[in-house]
Structure 1
């Protein structure tokens, strides 16, 4: 089984349920840690709606936190959610936040690499 992640009318990702639940839980945990809404709704009937108005600044916040710390473990913990988040935003039509339009070479390569492995359904 799998779960559809949707932004607006677009199915932006269709991972296996275990992957979906793991990503969902990580996002909700980081939402609490950084005290910023993620825009991720509940997983209901194998679907999860994402409100892009909150998800875009959420990913931007994680990227800023990543860039301002030199703590290797924190960076490692953030990398997965940021990478997936960049793919989802790109699939939803991009972002108006400059740091997300040009996140840097590391993140651009990460986004491309993940995107090839993230099915839409």
Structure 2
């Protein structure tokens, strides 16, 4: 059973059910913490639709939180969610502004993860 993330008529990630539900739950929780909408809307048949503009703003806020702290625990907690979100955002044609000191590492992490995320 899959849990697809779709933007318009394109599947950005055909996640496994558990991976997709966990990602969506983590994103919704982080969006609540950041006091912004996630841009992810669960669909009745399972999966999520992505509102790219809203999702892009969410991902930017998540990155800004990560970039603004030196707390290793907070950076670690946000990293997996951020990298997965960057894959989805990139696949939808969106992007966020990254600090130069983060661009290479996040770009490599995103590329590596994207190879294991079926679309």
> How many residues of Structure 1 are paired with residues of Structure 2 in the alignment?
118
Could you tell me which residue of structure 1 aligns to residue 111 of structure 2?
112
Could you tell me which residue of structure 1 aligns to residue 67 of structure 2?
67
Per the TM alignment, residue 82 of structure 1 is displaced from its structure 2 partner at its CA by 0.7
What RMSD in Å do the two structures reach over aligned CA positions? 1.7
Normalization by structure 2: what TM-score?
0.92
Task: After superposing the two structures, state which structure 1 stretch, 42-51 or 104-113, moved more.
Answer: 42-51
Q: Secondary structure at the match of 2:38?
A: coil
| Structure 1 residues without counterparts, runs of 5 or longer | none
Mapping of 1:15-30 within 5 angstroms?
A: 15-30=15-30
Runs of 4+ in 1 over 6 A off after TM superposition: none
Normalization by structure 1: what TM-score?
0.90
1:88 & 1:108 partners in 2: Cα distance?
Answer: 13
2:91 & 2:42 partners in 1: Cα distance?
Answer: 20
Per the TM alignment, residue 94 of structure 1 is displaced from its structure 2 partner at its CA by 2.8
Deviation string 1:4-23 (CA, Å, 9 cap, x unpaired) is: 10112210001110001100
